[in-house]
Structure 1
Amino acid sequence: MAISEFEIKRCEKELDKFIGEHRPPAHVRDQLDIGYRIENQSVVLFEIRASFRNPAEKLEVPVAKATYVKTQKVWKVYWQKSDLKWHSYEPVATVKYLEEFLNVVSENQYHCFFS
Protein backbone atom coordinates (compact mmCIF):
# COMPACT_ATOMS: atom_id res chain seq x y z
CA MET A 1 0.00 0.00 0.00
CA ALA A 2 1.33 3.44 -0.91
CA ILE A 3 2.13 6.15 1.60
CA SER A 4 -0.74 8.62 2.14
CA GLU A 5 -0.67 11.98 0.41
CA PHE A 6 -0.24 13.73 3.77
CA GLU A 7 2.74 11.50 4.62
CA ILE A 8 4.25 12.12 1.16
CA LYS A 9 4.20 15.87 1.78
CA ARG A 10 5.84 15.40 5.18
CA CYS A 11 8.47 13.11 3.63
CA GLU A 12 9.15 15.60 0.82
CA LYS A 13 9.73 18.34 3.39
CA GLU A 14 12.28 16.24 5.30
CA LEU A 15 13.93 14.97 2.11
CA ASP A 16 14.24 18.50 0.67
CA LYS A 17 15.89 19.57 3.92
CA PHE A 18 18.29 16.61 3.75
CA ILE A 19 19.15 17.30 0.10
CA GLY A 20 19.72 20.97 0.86
CA GLU A 21 22.18 20.09 3.61
CA HIS A 22 24.09 17.42 1.65
CA ARG A 23 24.23 18.66 -1.95
CA PRO A 24 27.68 19.29 -3.37
CA PRO A 25 28.70 22.89 -4.18
CA ALA A 26 26.84 24.47 -7.10
CA HIS A 27 29.89 24.51 -9.38
CA VAL A 28 30.14 20.68 -9.40
CA ARG A 29 26.45 19.78 -9.58
CA ASP A 30 26.61 19.24 -13.33
CA GLN A 31 29.03 16.37 -12.58
CA LEU A 32 27.68 15.15 -9.22
CA ASP A 33 24.46 15.84 -7.36
CA ILE A 34 21.97 13.99 -5.17
CA GLY A 35 18.24 13.49 -5.39
CA TYR A 36 15.36 11.37 -4.17
CA ARG A 37 12.29 9.61 -5.45
CA ILE A 38 9.20 8.39 -3.60
CA GLU A 39 7.90 5.12 -5.06
CA ASN A 40 4.81 3.55 -3.48
CA GLN A 41 5.85 3.01 0.16
CA SER A 42 9.60 3.56 -0.44
CA VAL A 43 11.96 6.51 -0.49
CA VAL A 44 15.09 6.13 -2.61
CA LEU A 45 18.11 8.43 -2.34
CA PHE A 46 20.45 8.51 -5.32
CA GLU A 47 23.51 10.22 -6.75
CA ILE A 48 23.18 11.95 -10.10
CA ARG A 49 26.39 11.54 -12.08
CA ALA A 50 27.53 12.34 -15.57
CA SER A 51 27.97 9.22 -17.70
CA PHE A 52 31.59 8.30 -18.45
CA ARG A 53 30.77 7.61 -22.11
CA ASN A 54 28.60 10.67 -22.64
CA PRO A 55 29.06 13.46 -20.07
CA ALA A 56 25.85 15.12 -21.29
CA GLU A 57 23.91 12.03 -20.16
CA LYS A 58 23.00 11.85 -16.46
CA LEU A 59 22.85 8.60 -14.52
CA GLU A 60 20.97 8.00 -11.28
CA VAL A 61 22.90 5.71 -8.94
CA PRO A 62 20.74 4.54 -6.00
CA VAL A 63 22.52 4.61 -2.64
CA ALA A 64 19.91 4.25 0.11
CA LYS A 65 16.31 3.15 0.46
CA ALA A 66 13.72 3.16 3.21
CA THR A 67 10.48 1.23 2.87
CA TYR A 68 7.56 1.93 5.19
CA VAL A 69 5.87 -1.16 6.64
CA LYS A 70 2.50 0.11 7.79
CA THR A 71 1.58 -3.00 9.81
CA GLN A 72 4.74 -2.64 11.90
CA LYS A 73 4.87 1.19 11.79
CA VAL A 74 8.58 1.15 10.90
CA TRP A 75 10.84 2.10 8.01
CA LYS A 76 13.14 -0.70 6.83
CA VAL A 77 16.58 0.61 5.86
CA TYR A 78 18.44 -0.73 2.82
CA TRP A 79 21.70 -0.09 0.99
CA GLN A 80 22.70 -1.18 -2.48
CA LYS A 81 25.73 -3.44 -2.75
CA SER A 82 27.89 -3.92 -5.83
CA ASP A 83 25.55 -6.73 -6.93
CA LEU A 84 22.98 -3.94 -7.55
CA LYS A 85 20.52 -5.52 -5.12
CA TRP A 86 19.05 -3.91 -2.01
CA HIS A 87 20.28 -5.38 1.27
CA SER A 88 19.09 -4.71 4.79
CA TYR A 89 21.40 -2.26 6.55
CA GLU A 90 22.22 -4.52 9.48
CA PRO A 91 23.59 -1.94 11.93
CA VAL A 92 20.18 -0.21 11.83
CA ALA A 93 17.70 -2.44 10.00
CA THR A 94 14.59 -0.46 10.99
CA VAL A 95 13.74 2.99 12.27
CA LYS A 96 10.49 4.48 13.50
CA TYR A 97 10.68 7.79 11.61
CA LEU A 98 11.98 8.91 8.22
CA GLU A 99 14.16 11.49 9.99
CA GLU A 100 16.00 8.64 11.72
CA PHE A 101 16.66 7.02 8.33
CA LEU A 102 18.08 10.30 7.02
CA ASN A 103 20.30 10.56 10.12
CA VAL A 104 21.61 7.02 9.54
CA VAL A 105 22.40 7.88 5.91
CA SER A 106 23.97 11.18 6.93
CA GLU A 107 26.22 9.52 9.51
CA ASN A 108 27.17 6.81 6.98
CA GLN A 109 29.11 5.10 9.76
CA TYR A 110 30.12 2.06 7.66
CA HIS A 111 30.48 3.94 4.33
CA CYS A 112 27.68 1.94 2.71
CA PHE A 113 25.74 4.84 1.30
CA PHE A 114 27.47 7.80 -0.31
CA SER A 115 31.05 7.22 -1.41
Structure 2
Amino acid sequence: MKNTLIDINDSTIKKYIESLRPEDLEIREKVDIGYSYEKNIVILFEIRPKWDTPKKKEHIEFAKIRYYKSRKEWNLYWMRANLKWELYEPFPLSTHLSKIIEIIKEDKHGCFYG
Protein backbone atom coordinates (compact mmCIF):
# COMPACT_ATOMS: atom_id res chain seq x y z
CA MET A 1 0.00 0.00 0.00
CA LYS A 2 1.38 3.39 -0.99
CA ASN A 3 1.80 5.90 1.83
CA THR A 4 0.44 9.28 0.69
CA LEU A 5 0.94 12.48 2.66
CA ILE A 6 -2.00 14.87 2.40
CA ASP A 7 -1.07 18.55 2.50
CA ILE A 8 -3.94 20.17 4.41
CA ASN A 9 -2.97 23.62 3.13
CA ASP A 10 -3.12 22.55 -0.50
CA SER A 11 -6.45 20.87 0.17
CA THR A 12 -7.80 24.05 1.83
CA ILE A 13 -6.73 26.26 -1.09
CA LYS A 14 -8.01 23.80 -3.70
CA LYS A 15 -11.44 23.66 -2.03
CA TYR A 16 -11.64 27.47 -1.93
CA ILE A 17 -10.58 27.86 -5.58
CA GLU A 18 -13.13 25.26 -6.70
CA SER A 19 -15.85 27.26 -4.91
CA LEU A 20 -14.92 30.33 -7.01
CA ARG A 21 -14.64 28.68 -10.43
CA PRO A 22 -17.57 29.00 -12.85
CA GLU A 23 -19.42 25.72 -13.30
CA ASP A 24 -20.08 26.30 -17.01
CA LEU A 25 -17.07 25.23 -19.12
CA GLU A 26 -17.85 27.88 -21.74
CA ILE A 27 -17.57 30.60 -19.11
CA ARG A 28 -14.29 29.10 -17.89
CA GLU A 29 -12.87 29.73 -21.35
CA LYS A 30 -13.52 33.45 -20.80
CA VAL A 31 -12.71 33.76 -17.10
CA ASP A 32 -11.50 31.25 -14.55
CA ILE A 33 -9.69 31.20 -11.21
CA GLY A 34 -6.49 29.32 -10.40
CA TYR A 35 -3.68 29.13 -7.91
CA SER A 36 -0.07 28.10 -7.50
CA TYR A 37 1.32 26.69 -4.28
CA GLU A 38 5.02 26.15 -3.85
CA LYS A 39 6.84 25.70 -0.57
CA ASN A 40 5.52 28.55 1.56
CA ILE A 41 3.76 30.82 -0.97
CA VAL A 42 0.26 30.63 -2.42
CA ILE A 43 -0.69 32.88 -5.34
CA LEU A 44 -4.34 33.27 -6.36
CA PHE A 45 -5.01 34.48 -9.89
CA GLU A 46 -7.68 35.07 -12.50
CA ILE A 47 -7.25 33.34 -15.86
CA ARG A 48 -8.42 35.27 -18.94
CA PRO A 49 -7.63 35.42 -22.64
CA LYS A 50 -5.08 38.14 -23.44
CA TRP A 51 -6.78 41.21 -24.86
CA ASP A 52 -4.49 41.39 -27.91
CA THR A 53 -4.06 37.62 -28.42
CA PRO A 54 -7.29 35.94 -27.31
CA LYS A 55 -5.96 32.42 -27.98
CA LYS A 56 -3.33 32.94 -25.26
CA LYS A 57 -4.28 32.95 -21.58
CA GLU A 58 -2.85 35.24 -18.94
CA HIS A 59 -2.79 34.92 -15.18
CA ILE A 60 -3.76 38.08 -13.32
CA GLU A 61 -2.60 37.72 -9.72
CA PHE A 62 -4.82 39.18 -7.00
CA ALA A 63 -3.73 37.63 -3.69
CA LYS A 64 -0.55 36.23 -2.21
CA ILE A 65 -0.40 34.24 1.01
CA ARG A 66 2.97 33.52 2.55
CA TYR A 67 3.84 31.23 5.43
CA TYR A 68 6.67 32.26 7.75
CA LYS A 69 7.92 29.09 9.39
CA SER A 70 9.99 30.92 12.03
CA ARG A 71 6.89 32.77 13.29
CA LYS A 72 4.42 29.98 12.40
CA GLU A 73 2.04 32.42 10.72
CA TRP A 74 0.49 33.23 7.37
CA ASN A 75 0.59 36.77 5.95
CA LEU A 76 -1.78 38.09 3.32
CA TYR A 77 -0.81 40.47 0.49
CA TRP A 78 -2.83 42.17 -2.24
CA MET A 79 -1.75 43.40 -5.67
CA ARG A 80 -1.75 47.17 -6.06
CA ALA A 81 -2.41 48.91 -9.38
CA ASN A 82 1.36 49.44 -9.74
CA LEU A 83 1.72 45.59 -9.73
CA LYS A 84 3.49 45.52 -6.37
CA TRP A 85 2.41 43.34 -3.48
CA GLU A 86 1.31 45.12 -0.33
CA LEU A 87 0.63 43.64 3.08
CA TYR A 88 -3.12 43.55 3.69
CA GLU A 89 -4.17 45.67 6.64
CA PRO A 90 -5.49 45.65 9.34
CA PHE A 91 -5.45 41.85 9.86
CA PRO A 92 -2.71 40.48 7.63
CA LEU A 93 -1.54 37.44 9.57
CA SER A 94 -2.90 34.28 11.11
CA THR A 95 -1.69 30.91 12.32
CA HIS A 96 -4.40 29.22 10.21
CA LEU A 97 -4.68 29.39 6.44
CA SER A 98 -8.46 29.02 6.61
CA LYS A 99 -8.70 32.34 8.52
CA ILE A 100 -6.73 34.08 5.77
CA ILE A 101 -9.13 32.65 3.19
CA GLU A 102 -12.07 34.02 5.18
CA ILE A 103 -10.48 37.50 4.99
CA ILE A 104 -10.16 37.16 1.20
CA LYS A 105 -13.78 35.97 0.93
CA GLU A 106 -15.00 38.93 2.97
CA ASP A 107 -12.90 41.38 0.92
CA LYS A 108 -13.91 44.18 3.26
CA HIS A 109 -11.82 46.83 1.47
CA GLY A 110 -12.33 45.65 -2.13
CA CYS A 111 -8.70 44.66 -2.60
CA PHE A 112 -9.24 41.19 -4.08
CA TYR A 113 -12.47 41.20 -6.06
CA GLY A 114 -12.83 44.92 -6.67
- Residue of structure 1 in register with 2:98 after alignment: 99
Q: How many residues align?
A: 110
Q: Percent identity?
A: 34
Amino acid aligned to 2:101 = L
Amino acid aligned to 2:33 = I
- Residue of structure 1 in register with 2:59 after alignment: 60
Determine if the alignment matches structure 1 residue 16 to structure 2 residue 14: yes
Structure 2 unaligned regions, length at least 5: none
- Residue of structure 1 in register with 2:49 after alignment: 50
Amino acid aligned to 2:55 = A
Q: CA RMSD in A?
A: 1.7
Does 1 or 2 have the higher relative contact order (CA < 8 Å, sep 6+)?
Answer: 1
Residues 21-79 of structure 1: CA distance to partner in whole angstroms, max 9, x if unpaired? 11124231101100110133111111001110111110001100111011111101100
- Residue of structure 2 in register with 1:86 after alignment: 85
Structure number with bigger Rg: 2
Amino acid aligned to 2:40 = Q
Q: Counterparts of 1:104 and 1:8 in 2: how far apart (Å)?
A: 24
Structure 1 unaligned regions, length at least 5: 1-5
Q: Counterparts of 1:69 and 1:96 in 2: how far apart (Å)?
A: 10
Q: Counterparts of 1:95 and 1:69 in 2: how far apart (Å)?
A: 10
Going from structure 1 to structure 2, the CA distance change for 1:63 and 1:7 (only over 3 Å counts) comes to farther
Extract structure 1 runs of 4+ deviating beyond 4 A: none
Amino acid aligned to 1:23 = R
Structure (1 or 2) with the greater helix fraction: 1
TM-score (norm 2): 0.88
